Structure 1
Amino acid sequence: MLSKNELYTGLKLTTGGSEDPLLPKLLHAINNADEIEISVSFLQFSGMYLLLPALEDALARTSRINILTSDYLCITDPRALKQLMLLQERGANTKIFQCRHGESFHMKTYIFIKNKNGSLHDGCAFIGSNNISATALQYAHEWCIRYDFNPDEANIDNEFSHIRSQFNAIFTHQQSHDLTHNWINDYQSRHAKLRKAPLALVSNDDRIEQFEPATPNEVQQLALTALCDSRNAGFKRGLVVLATGMGKTWLAAFDAQQFQAKRILFVAHREEILLQAQNTFVTLMNETSTGLYNGKETNKEAKFIFASVQTLGRKAHLMHFKPEHFDYIIIDEFHHASAPTYKHLLAHFQPQFLLGLTATPERTDQADILSLVDNNLVFERNLVHGIEAGIIVPFDYHGIFDDSVDYQTIPWRNGKFDPHSLDNAFATLQRANHVFDHWQRLKQTRTLAFCMSIRHANFMVKHFTAKGVKAAAVYNDSQVKRNEALLSLKNGELDIIFSVDLFNEGTDLPSIDTILMIRPSESKILFLQQLGRGLRTSATTNKNKLTVVDYIGNHHSFLNKPFALLGEEGAGRVLSGKEAPTLPDGCYVNLPIELINLWQTLKDKLKYSAVEEFNTLYEQLGHRPTATEFFQHGYDLTKVRKQHKSWFNLVKNNLLDSASDVPMMPIIEKYHDFMLESIEMTSMTKCFKPILLAAFLELNGFNNSPTTQALSKRSWLVLNRRPDLFNSELPEKQRGLTAESEAWHKYWLGNPIKAFTNTIKSNSQQWFSVIDGFFVANIKPTAQELELLHELVQELVDYRLAKYINSKQLNLQSSAIPIEQSVTKPIDSLSTGDSVSLPYYPDLRIACGNFKTGTYTHVEQLSLPAYYDKYDPKRYFVAPACGNSMHGGKNPIANGDLLLLEWITPVNAGSISSLTLAIERIDDAGDSEYLLRVVKKQPDGRYLLKANNPEYEDKVATDNMKTFARLIKVIKK
């Protein structure tokens, strides 16, 4: 690696080409400069992509940046100018030199300054032929000379001072104008015309770069269809679950484009996620303006706003925007959305569509957040799907027993180890040697390690460096900057990065092929985020798999790892010793017997009282479980009430040591009976009571009692966001009413409002009243109590609605088509070097018309080309298509085609909507019949079986049907 104590190193002349490129020298200078001044004639997207992370890091440490480019010959890429605008929003000064007719602009100058005590201490200037493009900075033969500041030359007219003064002259020239979105939009039309014309006067390296437009991958295409179907069904909110590395941000951009959104809000909780998302949207839709809304900048005018939830989630900031200001809202890392700031935002805005994104692996983990998107799980794909589709790489997981640390002796409070005690336990030579030995044996070439603290990271760097390993520690304000460390790792100048809280979320790290987990991960989500940092494919480094080396200690908190890796059912089988884990093709899990025994011992210690169930779930989730999460994980709130009288009594009794939850205790005690009787235990024959309470909370009803008209209108809007409930719970006559109509107001008065305000039992407390047309809560919280009371009531409302939907089987996972497995005997692969064999059922006859009788009692082996070797014969099989109902659309299926299918099991079931599935039913004679159709979710909760050939009618799924296989592809003969 280059020296980290100066702006430059090496010879003054850079000759370019792959042996002496300018890029690493520029990155090193950017990462260490206090002032950066750049002037180039041409700016290309590929070059800005290479420099942008380092320039963003420089701005984050308050470096001053001035960048000037030109419109000479219209070579500069408008998308690169959009990237300059991203830097401008972060504090850079960016300008465009507008050339007059016949005037040239050919500057290529990069100046870097290091200050000390407020004055110039060191500096250099690279001047030559390199514009900002990938070719010029990495591959082309471009000469560039470096001029160095000489502190011994006190004369103000020395060479370096002259260079800086001339840069200032051109930067402040009357033809140098501040870059704006409006200027870029005007320039785009000129640039588009020039792209069609020959550029005889321009060198090859400076020609306009031609880019293929970004297109969605296979899984993203399915998700886009599902999103479109969900909106057509009437949903206004939805959740998409994609495993890390499968392109959630790009999916959001593609869907916003598909939706033709005019005003977009993208919300996240970390700065790097916002910056990455902004860059993605600029790349795909560069014709509009973007802006940040965070602690540093509050851009309200841009069409696409990328906002920090910590800022925009405050009520004072929300008031700057009308509820309908944005037509499309994306909330990334949606598993954080149950936090109060997110809920304020969700309650305020009323977009045409709101998309939640997360990589949370299982529906039980999504229990609480699904209520925030009207229980609409639009699309879900896990690691298995991503690996099988080739979007992410397979992994080898090595669980290492961390026997050098006794975690039982480390204090455990509120779901976390005491950080100081853990730090001391990790900073030992015994553990460092233990980590090094296993890493040395199992690693590939580029490792990212997750550490507990800065002290821990620095300790590990010192230890590894002493053993001849090229290592660096990366954290906020570390000497080695994040972008420089990643580039050095990619180029082989580093073997391992020890990181602290920088790479958990939102960072694209495709070159990493080894993950080293040497700190506890408090939740399944964190564990999967860390594993996911290495799952992206990387053609430049020829990565074909990820190696994971994970250290597991003797504490019950480590049980989250098998549940995260294998799922609840798979982990249960492994921990019980019944069978080996079921894994995607190409994956491998090594769990030494001592770890299996340890996990089993820890699991056996877990009891089954409500308190122990609560604490078990607390450890698994990494946070205090909500009532909905407790319910969706299969725990019984009836038992909770028997043992603790109410849900919040259980919560109160188990959070007395949590400083963050201390304010909750008096609220629970003071309003316990109100929450228990009016919400947790209130009788329900329809969903209307929780819908009304949800509307009451959205209107801030505890603070300002709404009129019954306002409450009925907001209730209609809340219910209308749920077309499954709207169509199934309301009588047909009421479904035709509008939110503002008096008929709807009258109907709502006679149903939930009356039920809440009439006391039937003589000993019952009347918790709500209608007074002079206002719906009033008969409790009087103080101003200090309002926010916490609102959150607790919202939690119970979400739980009651989730429980009601579950009881009525209206949730999106319920269906007229049970997800079951049709059993087949496992058949060993007969693959050879030139071909592979898969089970072939010639009599199964998957009907592509109407249901056809078939059987899979007779099986043969079908020889296929060797590239089919990734399909496990225990999971995949081949059957013939019969009929032409699917002969249409983008991927037509003709009569007689051979279909590659995957058995559907409880382990790999996932979402079924918008997939092409094989369906089985039993006819009156008791024979099995089969059909192939696309499954589409309908607003009333049913599923429609759609044909691709418009000559065939769609079918409605019935109770005697079940899905048994999903279509993978048609095998070409």
Structure 2
Amino acid sequence: MSKVELISRYLLDKLQEQISRSSTIYILTSFAMKSGVRLLNGDLKAAAERGADIKVCVGDYLFVTQPEALRELISIHPDIEVRLYRSEGVSFHPKAYLFEDAEGGYFIVGSSNLSRSALTDGVEWNLGLDKSVDEGVFAEAMEQFLKLFYAPETVPVNVETIADYEKQCQDYHQRHPNLARTWVEAEEIELMLPAEQKEIEVSDEPPDFVRETAAPYGTIQPRFAQVEALRRLEATYEEGYDKAMVVMATGLGKTYLAAFFARRFSRVLFIAHREEILRQAKRSFERVMPDRTGGLYDGNQKEGNADMVFASIFTLSMKKHLHAFQPDSFDLIVVDEFHHAAASSYERVLRYFRPRFLLGITATPDRNDNKDVYALCDGNVAYRIDFIEAVRRGWLAPFRYYGIYDDIDYSQIKWLGNRYDEEQLLQAQLREEVAEKILRAWEQYKKTRTLVFCSSVRQADFLSKYFQRHGYRTVSLHSKQTSISRKQAIAMLERRELDAIFTVDLFNEGVDIPSVDTLLFVRPTESLTVFTQQVGRGLRLYEGKDYCVIIDLIGNYRNADVKLRLFDTQRGETKKKARESVVPTVPETCELHFDVQAIHLLEEMQKKRQPRKERLLADYRQLKQELGRRPTYLELHLHGRSEAAEYKSEFGSYVGFLYWADELSDLEKDVFRKYESWLVEVERTVMSKSYKMVVLKAMLERGPSGWHQPITPQEAAPFFHRYLTEKEYRKRIDFSDGETKRLWEYDQEKVSRLITRMPMTKWSGSSNGLISFANNVFALQFAIENEHEEILHNWTKEICEYRLHVYFERKGG
């Protein structure tokens, strides 16, 4: 095989050759047509059947990709992963085919999309390169593909997301009929659509690292929050949990905490989504355990034999690299927060490994933002401290927040689903009068060393030059900056040779500058997670820093009012007032100051908040699309953006919500109407202990046709005892008082007496006649029709499993 070759006709032959021999097959195209998919259908199916790792990413740019092509792709084989890149109008034109096997690799980059003409006799130019030409470039191509494949802009292709895409397709082509007709009449003709260049704000520069000062850690012993968190983590492990998460604000040393906890395990795997985080974690772990070996496992290095392996999730999500390890290779796996990557890639990796313990660590305080880590750890939060509590305790620097009114009208700027249209945003931002207002606010409130968070490279450059013209020493630091490195800029800021660094997203994670004492936000807050991380950049303790100044432009952009909850000491508490104040309550050592116009704007935004029912429906639909099916109640709790309890509160039961949302079949609607009172009873019955749901679970174990039959305490006793004693934390929470502790060794008569007295007698008395307990028999007091048995069994089981999970999750915390 030639090492480099031009392929101008019949790319299909080369693809079929490579697919037939490869164990890794990655396809990235701007669009896919059903004709092109069908040409590769048989080859891809055969490869999947022999266990190849196959991933296909296609774009939705101008809705050229056919819904039928997506259906064809997901029908080939269930193990083929397909994702759709939602371009939201941004140019998306890649065409690449990557292959790897045990002997080597091959990749093709060129002009051919996934259509018949592009793969056969169309006029196309593609360059095929053997991996041996440049193994570094090949590794980078594989890594970049995976980062794009799992980017936040992508969604899994399934029946739900295809249905949504098809509706958008139809709407778009109704509004652009000429384009639609072109593709109907000649779908095989490549349409090279005009593309506007968009600045990509992801750093490709070699990582520069700022080593944390040794002072905070001294002899590498746990300090501050780490002491509490480590004690709670170790107790969690001793109680029989096999997974947990820790929520610790940026600046409290969550990575060091993980290292201290890791001392009790022989081999450790640390997984993250960014190289900077991996390298910093490696240094932290090696300082805590200098006698252990540490190795990186990413696109460039494969040091998998070390005692402590620090691996990129993108590398591990490749089957060949995942299977380079045995499932039991690691005793402890630590997962760093991963809001930038798809949760499915982590789930796949963690399904493969069988560690003694899984630890998720995150700095984001809101469940909405760390729901993926939360779900991976089964909702078990071993320790939690957000930055507000850390400020109260003196573990992070206090702050003075200044909310400055931003008169840009963001309602006139197009929203692209997860960000504002960049060109429209820049037209509003890159004005002298806007820069002047920012400069004056900064001059009024700043201290000595400033980080400025911008929304784009062009905004960072514009503002930096504007500040320079007014006599200040500034630099715009981003991926396109070549005249100064990140490391140099940070050193100059620390020495006060710079007044400010203007940046985009380089300082969200992985780099700490404790001396920074002023933060300036000149961007709309699109993500509460990102805002949380950026605020954390200024709160580290540092000699001579008595507080941090936060200067924040507040406009009518999305989340402007929501983000202020971050500063609220009463966040999450039940408020008796009809409407919460838009001004949060902050620690005594901190201050909040707002322009009057900003206050009025926030109050107006609060009034217009999305109604609760509609928000719950939107969050439900988002999760349904991610899963490709209706989520179970427990999945809604673990993965949903809204708390599952809100659905119960608003609709009486989860099934009640499904009924309201028209998510039930006609038969399911009949079942809901007939047995609604039962479903509400199971949802709402008081649980001071888990016993009611454990007895119900024992009944449900008998299957759809037998679950509702009467049961005696003696029949329930074996399952009841086994369930409450098989996990240490269940024993500790619900089976360890004076009486039940004596029942750790099974005694049917004594366990039966407990069941008689506690769940059966009590539940029958509070069930409004739905349950009876007489003559030693626990029975449902309503008939269930045969055709309704399975549906009602499944719904009851979902509620039961959800309530047990939430009960032990809450009690265990």
Counterpart residue number, 1:471:
474
Please say if residues 619 and 642 of structure 2, whose CA atoms lie closer than 8 Å, have aligned partners that are also in contact. Answer: no
Between structures 1 and 2, the one with greater strand share: 1
- The residue identity in structure 2 corresponding to 1:265 is L
Please say if residues 239 and 356 of structure 1, whose CA atoms lie closer than 8 Å, have aligned partners that are also in contact. Answer: yes
1:222 aligns with 2:228: yes
For residues 653-706 of structure 1, what are the alpha-carbon distances to aligned partners after superposition, in whole Å with 9 as ceiling and x for unaligned?
xxxxxxxxxxxxxxx99x999xx99xx98989647999999xxxxxxxxxxxxx
Q: Give 2:301's match in structure 1, choosing from 297, 300, 310.
A: 297
Counterpart residue number, 1:526:
530
For residues 335-388 of structure 1, what are the alpha-carbon distances to aligned partners after superposition, in whole Å with 9 as ceiling and x for unaligned?
668711121223222222221111222457656643422332111222233224
Tell me how far apart the structure 1 counterparts of residues 532 and 469 of structure 2 sit (CA, whole Å): 31
For residues 763-791 of structure 1, what are the alpha-carbon distances to aligned partners after superposition, in whole Å with 9 as ceiling and x for unaligned?
2485999xxxxxxx9xxxxxxxxxxxxxx
1:440 aligns with 2:464: no
TM-score (norm 1): 0.47
Q: What's the CA shift for 1:450?
A: 0.8
Counterpart residue number, 1:553:
555
Any residues of structure 2 matched to 1:4-153 within 5 Å, and which?
Answer: none
TM-score (norm 2): 0.55
Q: What's the CA shift for 1:421?
A: 1.8
Tell me how far apart the structure 2 counterparts of residues 489 and 549 of structure 1 sit (CA, whole Å): 18
Please say if residues 693 and 800 of structure 2, whose CA atoms lie closer than 8 Å, have aligned partners that are also in contact. Answer: no
- The residue identity in structure 2 corresponding to 1:557 is N
Structure with bigger RCO (C-alpha 8 Å, 6+ apart):
2
Any residues of structure 2 matched to 1:610-629 within 5 Å, and which?
Answer: 610-614=613-617, 627-628=636-637, 629=640
Q: Give 2:503's match in structure 1, choosing from 496, 499, 504.
A: 499
Tell me how far apart the structure 1 counterparts of residues 649 and 392 of structure 2 sit (CA, whole Å): 42
SS in 2 for 1:635: helix
1:811 aligns with 2:809: yes
For residues 795-822 of structure 1, what are the alpha-carbon distances to aligned partners after superposition, in whole Å with 9 as ceiling and x for unaligned?
x99997454444x4x333x4xxxxxxxx
In structure 2, the CA distance between the partners of 1:651 and 1:280, relative to structure 1 (3 Å rule), is farther
For residues 380-433 of structure 1, what are the alpha-carbon distances to aligned partners after superposition, in whole Å with 9 as ceiling and x for unaligned?
222233224332111111111111x11110112324322332222222212111
- The residue identity in structure 1 corresponding to 2:521 is M
Q: Give 2:567's match in structure 1, choosing from 565, 581, 591.
A: 565
Tell me how far apart the structure 1 counterparts of residues 731 and 614 of structure 2 sit (CA, whole Å): 34
Structure 1 unaligned blocks of 5 or more: 1-89, 92-133, 135-210, 653-667, 694-715, 738-758, 770-776, 778-792, 815-936, 942-973
Any residues of structure 2 matched to 1:230-309 within 5 Å, and which?
Answer: 230-257=236-263, 259=264, 261-309=265-313
In structure 2, the CA distance between the partners of 1:270 and 1:649, relative to structure 1 (3 Å rule), is farther
- The residue identity in structure 2 corresponding to 1:247 is G
Moved more, 378-387 or 502-511: 378-387
Q: What's the CA shift for 1:636?
A: 2.0
Tell me how far apart the structure 1 counterparts of residues 308 and 659 of structure 2 sit (CA, whole Å): 41
Please say if residues 401 and 592 of structure 2, whose CA atoms lie closer than 8 Å, have aligned partners that are also in contact. Answer: yes
Counterpart residue number, 1:763:
787
Counterpart residue number, 2:391:
387
Counterpart residue number, 1:407:
410
- The residue identity in structure 2 corresponding to 1:321 is F
For residues 218-266 of structure 1, what are the alpha-carbon distances to aligned partners after superposition, in whole Å with 9 as ceiling and x for unaligned?
2211111111211121112111111111111111111212x2x211111
Please say if residues 309 and 341 of structure 1, whose CA atoms lie closer than 8 Å, have aligned partners that are also in contact. Answer: yes
- The residue identity in structure 1 corresponding to 2:643 is Q
Tell me how far apart the structure 1 counterparts of residues 340 and 519 of structure 2 sit (CA, whole Å): 24
Q: What's the CA shift for 1:634?
A: 5.1
Counterpart residue number, 2:646:
635
Q: What's the CA shift for 1:644?
A: 10
Please say if residues 447 and 516 of structure 1, whose CA atoms lie closer than 8 Å, have aligned partners that are also in contact. Answer: yes
In structure 2, the CA distance between the partners of 1:545 and 1:639, relative to structure 1 (3 Å rule), is closer
Please say if residues 337 and 373 of structure 2, whose CA atoms lie closer than 8 Å, have aligned partners that are also in contact. Answer: no
Counterpart residue number, 1:602:
605
1:486 aligns with 2:480: no
Q: Give 1:422's match in structure 2, choosing from 420, 425, 436.
A: 425
Please say if residues 364 and 533 of structure 2, whose CA atoms lie closer than 8 Å, have aligned partners that are also in contact. Answer: no
- The residue identity in structure 1 corresponding to 2:294 is T
Tell me how far apart the structure 2 counterparts of residues 217 and 595 of structure 1 sit (CA, whole Å): 39
Q: Give 1:359's match in structure 2, choosing from 359, 363, 371.
A: 363
Counterpart residue number, 2:717:
none
Q: What's the CA shift for 1:308?
A: 1.2
Q: What's the CA shift for 1:441?
A: 0.9
- The residue identity in structure 1 corresponding to 2:564 is P
- The residue identity in structure 1 corresponding to 2:329 is H
- Please say which structure displays the higher CA radius of gyration: 1
1:339 aligns with 2:343: yes
For residues 828-847 of structure 1, what are the alpha-carbon distances to aligned partners after superposition, in whole Å with 9 as ceiling and x for unaligned?
xxxxxxxxxxxxxxxxxxxx
The size of the alignment, in residue pairs, is 520
Tell me how far apart the structure 1 counterparts of residues 524 and 726 of structure 2 sit (CA, whole Å): 43
Please say if residues 526 and 559 of structure 2, whose CA atoms lie closer than 8 Å, have aligned partners that are also in contact. Answer: yes
Tell me how far apart the structure 2 counterparts of residues 639 and 306 of structure 1 sit (CA, whole Å): 44
Q: Give 1:723's match in structure 2, choosing from 705, 729, 732.
A: 729
Tell me how far apart the structure 1 counterparts of residues 231 and 468 of structure 2 sit (CA, whole Å): 51
Tell me how far apart the structure 2 counterparts of residues 454 and 605 of structure 1 sit (CA, whole Å): 32
Counterpart residue number, 2:101:
none
SS in 1 for 2:424: helix
Tell me how far apart the structure 1 counterparts of residues 660 and 353 of structure 2 sit (CA, whole Å): 33
SS in 1 for 2:560: helix
Tell me how far apart the structure 2 counterparts of residues 571 and 429 of structure 1 sit (CA, whole Å): 45
Please say if residues 735 and 741 of structure 2, whose CA atoms lie closer than 8 Å, have aligned partners that are also in contact. Answer: no
> CA RMSD of the aligned region, Å?
4.9
Tell me how far apart the structure 2 counterparts of residues 689 and 388 of structure 1 sit (CA, whole Å): 44
Tell me how far apart the structure 2 counterparts of residues 543 and 574 of structure 1 sit (CA, whole Å): 37
Tell me how far apart the structure 2 counterparts of residues 646 and 423 of structure 1 sit (CA, whole Å): 42
Q: What's the CA shift for 1:533?
A: 0.5
Counterpart residue number, 2:587:
584
Please say if residues 392 and 589 of structure 2, whose CA atoms lie closer than 8 Å, have aligned partners that are also in contact. Answer: no
In structure 2, the CA distance between the partners of 1:568 and 1:330, relative to structure 1 (3 Å rule), is same
Tell me how far apart the structure 2 counterparts of residues 585 and 477 of structure 1 sit (CA, whole Å): 42
Please say if residues 475 and 489 of structure 2, whose CA atoms lie closer than 8 Å, have aligned partners that are also in contact. Answer: yes
SS in 1 for 2:286: helix
Please say if residues 236 and 721 of structure 1, whose CA atoms lie closer than 8 Å, have aligned partners that are also in contact. Answer: no
Q: What's the CA shift for 1:517?
A: 0.8
Counterpart residue number, 2:756:
none
Please say if residues 362 and 370 of structure 2, whose CA atoms lie closer than 8 Å, have aligned partners that are also in contact. Answer: no
Counterpart residue number, 1:127:
none
Q: Give 2:434's match in structure 1, choosing from 431, 434, 456.
A: 431
Structure 2 unaligned blocks of 5 or more: 1-138, 141-210, 212-216, 684-691, 701-721, 747-782
In structure 2, the CA distance between the partners of 1:359 and 1:640, relative to structure 1 (3 Å rule), is same
For residues 884-942 of structure 1, what are the alpha-carbon distances to aligned partners after superposition, in whole Å with 9 as ceiling and x for unaligned?
xxxxxxxxxxxxxxxxxxxxxxxxxxxxxxxxxxxxxxxxxxxxxxxxxxxxx6xxx8x
Tell me how far apart the structure 1 counterparts of residues 466 and 473 of structure 2 sit (CA, whole Å): 11
In structure 2, the CA distance between the partners of 1:280 and 1:563, relative to structure 1 (3 Å rule), is same
1:513 aligns with 2:545: no
SS in 2 for 1:266: strand
Please say if residues 647 and 654 of structure 2, whose CA atoms lie closer than 8 Å, have aligned partners that are also in contact. Answer: no
In structure 2, the CA distance between the partners of 1:515 and 1:609, relative to structure 1 (3 Å rule), is closer
In structure 2, the CA distance between the partners of 1:643 and 1:267, relative to structure 1 (3 Å rule), is closer
Please say if residues 267 and 309 of structure 1, whose CA atoms lie closer than 8 Å, have aligned partners that are also in contact. Answer: yes
